[in-house]
Structure 1
Amino acid sequence: MSFNNFVVFIAVCLSYSVQADSVANMKMKYLQYMLTCAEQHSVATTDLKEVTQQKMLKDDNVKCMFACVFKMTGMTDDEGNLSVEGIKQVTELVYANNPEKKAMSEDFIKACKHVNDEELTGEKKECQRAALIFKCSVENSASR
């Protein structure tokens, strides 16, 4: 292997390492946000287990936990609407070198941005919208 090829190989490995580190960091942050929000909204451990199996519960506390997590991660804005720009920024940061993941993110945005147009009634609209986002993301992932 020539020196130039070796340098290219190391650069590629480092870029994947940085990307993997970013993904691992993002997953860890997401877990921390989820635990923080679960505590803030008094979500039971059994309910957390259910949502990890892609089941949205009817409990308002669970919906509000997701509203909290989505806001903390930049997926939603202050009003609880899906933040297309926020998702794009996170995607670019975490998956800059992964066109497949970036495409999946774009597919998610296209499939789920309609939740911002849903008419919601009653209180805790940001929690209701978070449930719609969760539902759409589960449905969108099932179609892949």
Structure 2
Amino acid sequence: MSFSNFVVFITVCISYLMAANVTDIKLKYLQYVLECATEHSVSTEDIRDLAKHRVVKGDNIKCMLACAYKKTGMTDEEGKLSAERMKEIAETAYHDDAEKKKKSEDFTRTCLYVNEEGISGERKECERAAKIFKCAIDNFDSAV
């Protein structure tokens, strides 16, 4: 699976936007990532690690993910993956493709376990976002 295809899928999943096409969705998601990267002082190296599907380690990059996920609606106010919102996203993105819609829902269901993991500390949302990202990387090929 190419990185470009990965970005398209994740973008569609986490960008519940009424966009005209996938390019518009990608651009809006990238805008959120850039806003959040600036807000959390994320390094270029951290962004490269994300692009290479490497597990994120620093607090700044984890919090950037939490910020982007929240802005796009993928997670709720507590930073938990929202199955309901992800279903809405799949409906919007794949309204005419039942197979892709089902795979998207299966993919979401696979990663919901992250919501139940005991995460403590001041930056729970950031840690949970990193776990969601890792689950996405670990399960992407089998779900899509």
Q: What is the RMSD of the two structures over their aligned residues, measured on CA atoms? A: 1.7
Counterpart residue identity of residue 69, structure 1: A
1:121 aligns with 2:120: yes
1:143 match: secondary structure? helix
Q: How many residues are paired up?
A: 126
Alpha-carbon displacement from aligned partner over 1:35-71 (angstroms, at most 9, x marks no partner) = 1111110001121011011112210100000001111
1:117 positional shift: 0.3
The farther-off stretch of 95-104 and 120-129 is 95-104
Alpha-carbon displacement from aligned partner over 1:110-135 (angstroms, at most 9, x marks no partner) = 10011100001222100010011001
2:62 corresponds to: 63
* Larger CA Rg, structure 1 vs 2: 1
2:108 corresponds to: 109
2:9 corresponds to: none
Q: Is the 2:90–2:105 Cα contact (8 Å) retained in structure 1?
A: no
Gaps of 5+ in 2: 1-18
1:68 match: secondary structure? helix
2:21 match: secondary structure? helix
Alpha-carbon displacement from aligned partner over 1:46-105 (angstroms, at most 9, x marks no partner) = 210110111122101000000011111111000100011111112211221122321221
Higher helix share: 1
When residues 99 and 24 of structure 1 are mapped into structure 2, their CA distance, relative to the original with a 3 A threshold, is: farther
Q: Distance in 2 between matches of 1:60 and 1:138?
A: 19
Give TM-score, length-normalised by structure 2.
Answer: 0.81
Q: Distance in 2 between matches of 1:57 and 1:49?
A: 10
The farther-off stretch of 131-140 and 83-92 is 83-92
Q: Distance in 1 between matches of 2:63 and 2:97?
A: 31
Matched residues, percent identical? 50
2:55 match: secondary structure? coil
When residues 98 and 21 of structure 1 are mapped into structure 2, their CA distance, relative to the original with a 3 A threshold, is: farther
2:73 corresponds to: 74
